[in-house]
Amino acid sequence: MKNHLKTLWATALMIVGIADASFAQQAPLALGRIAPYEMEVTYDKTSHLIFPAAIRYVDLGSDYLIAAKAEDAPNVLRVKAAVKGFGPETNFSVITDDGRFYSFDVFYSPYPQALSYDLVEMRKATEKAVANDVLFGELGDSSPSLAGLLMQTIYKKDKRTVRHIGAKSFGIRFTLKGIYIHNGKYYFHTELANGSNVPFQIDFVNFKVVDKKVAKRTVVQERPLMPLRTYRPLESIGGNTTQRNVFLLDQFTIADDKVLQIEIFEKNGGRQQRLQVENSDLVKARPVGKMHLKF
């Protein structure tokens, strides 16, 4: 009797194992399927898609389509038919800088029902075409959408946790409002106030580590640091206005004889500003998680 029960248990376990293996072979892809958006294109007119973030990658399913990013608008994609009356359908995929993946099934129509699509509004209505985050090499294991959410949270909360780092000259005040850290990444919250009537056109912002002794005089043995993400575009700041931003950088520390310089340069001007950050400031960076993120 005992041997009979052992045989039954062994048979049952084998059947369960076969069923699990069969499920593992058939189910995961179906469960992870990304339902595509459907759209129509034509030969004589161009369709435009507006994405929530800059376009990083586009793959066309066939030569029936032609596509390109719009000039000076990195989040706008132009799409049209390269062949009249193609059929039955083709497709294309898009990855944006916020790590989102979009899939589209494309049909030919002489008279498309729409020529412009706002993916921001479409995502509000349905998330069916948005997969999990695509990971980018420069961000490591950090999710691009989470990094964007953290930058947005810091920007909207607008707290000043650092009160001793700032620069002011020529009517321009540049301030470091906070340093935050999450998953091996720094978030620098800055503010630029233009107290003059002359607009300040931002040329670029520069992060670099320099020797403390020469930090005020010359550029010797400097180590540039490239921001991985910038929350807002670098643009002109009108007279008597203030603008804030958040910069994302890889985690780092510096020796006691060095400092981090954050410089902002004016285009065709001489009102550049410079902030100086000590290692003691970096190690006091606050966890972003304490800002009560809302997903």
Q: What confidence category does residue 48 fall into, taking pLDDT thresholds of 50, 70 and 90?
A: very high
Q: What confidence category does residue 125 fall into, taking pLDDT thresholds of 50, 70 and 90?
A: low
Residues 85 and 165 in one domain: no
Mean pLDDT of the chain: 83
Residues 95 and 62 in one domain: yes
Q: What confidence category does residue 6 fall into, taking pLDDT thresholds of 50, 70 and 90?
A: very low
Q: Is residue 85 part of a domain?
A: yes
Residues 215 and 250 in one domain: yes
What token pair was written down for 272? 């550049």
Residue 133 scores a pLDDT above 70: no
Query: Pick from 129, 127, 144: which is nearest to 33 by CA?
Result: 129
Residues 115 and 169 in one domain: no
| Mean pLDDT along residues 61-68 | 94
Cβ pair 35, 129 in contact under 8 A = yes
**Which are the contacts of 67, defined by CB distance < 8 A and separation ≥ 6?**
58, 60, 77, 78, 79, 80, 92
CATH code, domain carrying 177: 2.60.40.10
Q: Is residue 243 part of a domain?
A: yes
CATH code, domain carrying 62: 2.60.40.1550
Residues 198 and 264 in one domain: yes
Q: Is residue 7 part of a domain?
A: no
Radius of gyration of the chain (CA): 26
77: domain range?
Answer: 37-134
Please state, in angstroms and rounded to a whole number, the distance separating the CA atoms of residues 101 and 224: 32
Please state, in angstroms and rounded to a whole number, the distance separating the CA atoms of residues 266 and 282: 26
Least confident piece of the model among 7-16, 145-154, 214-223, 285-294: 7-16
Among residues 115, 134, 153, the one where a domain terminates is: 134
Which is more confidently placed, 10 or 295? Answer: 10
Q: Is residue 18 part of a domain?
A: no
Residues 149 and 91 in one domain: no
Residue 206 scores a pLDDT above 60: yes
Per-residue H/E/C for the chain:
CHHHHHHHHHHHHHHHHHHHHHHHHHHHHHHCCCCCEEEEECCCCCEEEECCCCEEEEEECCCCEEEEEECCEEEEEEEEECCCCCCCCEEEEEEECCCCEEEEEEEECCCCCCCEEEHHHHHHHCCCCCCCCCCCHHHCCCCHHHHHHHHHHHHHHCCCCCCCCEEEECCEEEEEEEEEEECCEEEEEEEEEECCCCCEEEEEEEEEEEEHHHCCCCCCCCEEECCCEECCCCCEECCCEEEEEEEEEECCCCCCCEEEEEEEEECCCCCCEEEEECHHHHCCCEEHHHHCCCC
Q: Is residue 22 part of a domain?
A: no
Per cent of the chain over pLDDT 70 is 77
Q: Is residue 47 part of a domain?
A: yes
Residues 209 and 121 in one domain: no
Ramachandran assignment for 58, one of left (phi > 0), alpha (psi -120 to 50 degrees), beta (any other) = beta
Q: Is residue 44 part of a domain?
A: yes
Please measure the distance between the N-terminal and C-terminal CA atoms of the chain and give it in whole angstroms.
58
- Quote the pLDDT of residue 12: 45
Residues 199 and 252 in one domain: yes
Residues 49 and 119 in one domain: yes
| Residue with token string 């595509």 | 36
Residues 106 and 158 in one domain: no
pTM: 0.64
Residue 217 scores a pLDDT above 90: no
Among residues 114, 134, 154, the one where a domain terminates is: 134
Residues 204 and 261 in one domain: yes
| Mean pLDDT along residues 111-137 | 70
Query: Pick from 166, 168, 167: which is nearest to 178 by CA?
Result: 166
Per cent of the chain over pLDDT 90 is 55
Among residues 134, 157, 190, the one where a domain terminates is: 134
Q: Is residue 221 part of a domain?
A: yes
Residue 295 scores a pLDDT above 60: no
Q: How many domains would you assign to the chain?
A: 2
Residues 125 and 213 in one domain: no
Q: Which residue type does 101 have?
A: F
Query: Pick from 182, 33, 199, 43: which is nearest to 109 by CA?
Result: 43
- Quote the pLDDT of residue 129: 43
